[in-house]
Structure 1
């Protein structure tokens, strides 16, 4: 099988932060986020349906959340701003879930790699995303961006067009303290983001597996939250830089 190099950045790399960017979000174009893909599953009625997001790492590897793996058949849709329409559709050949997924804490190590049956062809709406080297941290209160086709309010309906929204990274200890009031654990493999004590902007159901961007760098994989866009509870993503070495070793 052919291999492609992953786009890795060191801690000193510059991240250009997007401004004013799916609860509380706005319509977005796939050309703005060409690394995002829709992850679709075949349901009991033999209908393909988008239920998660993912991010292109190489022409044949997509990063998503481990909890998005319901088993085959699966496929991805790349290069389209519209949910379940247009773009390039490629079947998933196989997948690898992180071996520590759900072992120590609920939804810990919530990352997985999808291997595609054929290589994506890069263009304006299909591009790989860079990730940080192992252990690089995004500072507290940094502007970060969620993107996806998920529900626009908790227990609502998914968006027909790609959405984006700007939120801010939340201190790990503060996030862990708040989530602990609901008997949930934030591990060092997770990162939190939201509009603390304000709410109104967040990822939501069916955004799982999709990206959290720090500028043009993928720093998080949308994982879980208490509702969506709650003032008290930031959303939680798997921290990509906690898994860089595993990603590089397996994205071949």
Structure 2
């Protein structure tokens, strides 16, 4: 009888000791996981901020390259043409009028370029406006035939998302202009039920997507899309062009 009571007592004492120990162990495990999660969130935040800063720098660098091309290939050619007209005008009113008209066009292009690179204009520009301006430049420079379309009712996007999206799009544009030999570029923004879908397609020479986004910055584009929790897909076929699709679902405020 006493031995049975002693056994019960030892069991109770064991349980009383094990319960606090188990609680301490659970607390330690929970705290370690919590700290690890916080560290991962901080690292993710730093990665995003670094990527955001890098994207802003790259956008500025790409814009400066675009300015250089436009000054040389567009405005420079117009001014040179006006100079040649004047040199060969022999003071004929018709040739002088043609020269004045060419210089007027060059001045308009210079004003448009000045507006596009104004820091305040860029800061207050939406993603749609920035993309539209890029495509307008392609048309002016006769780089490529382009079409820009908006479907649905546009909604405001977070500024940080716009920077990342614009850099991805800008990089795709750059690859199209420099490498694809495309003659047509189509861009469509779909807005529906707080979901954004961007589709960009060219009719260039394409490439092998099995290369797993290696080369010409495609892997970098996919990495950036993940940072803003969006899905990015690139499909391409040799001699049939390349298509970029970006999708992100937003939550109603």
TM score, norm. by length of structure 1: 0.23
Higher strand share: 1
> Which of the pair has more CA radius of gyration?
2
Higher helix share: 2
TM score, norm. by length of structure 2: 0.23
Q: Which has the bigger relative contact order, CA under 8 A and spacing at least 6? A: 1
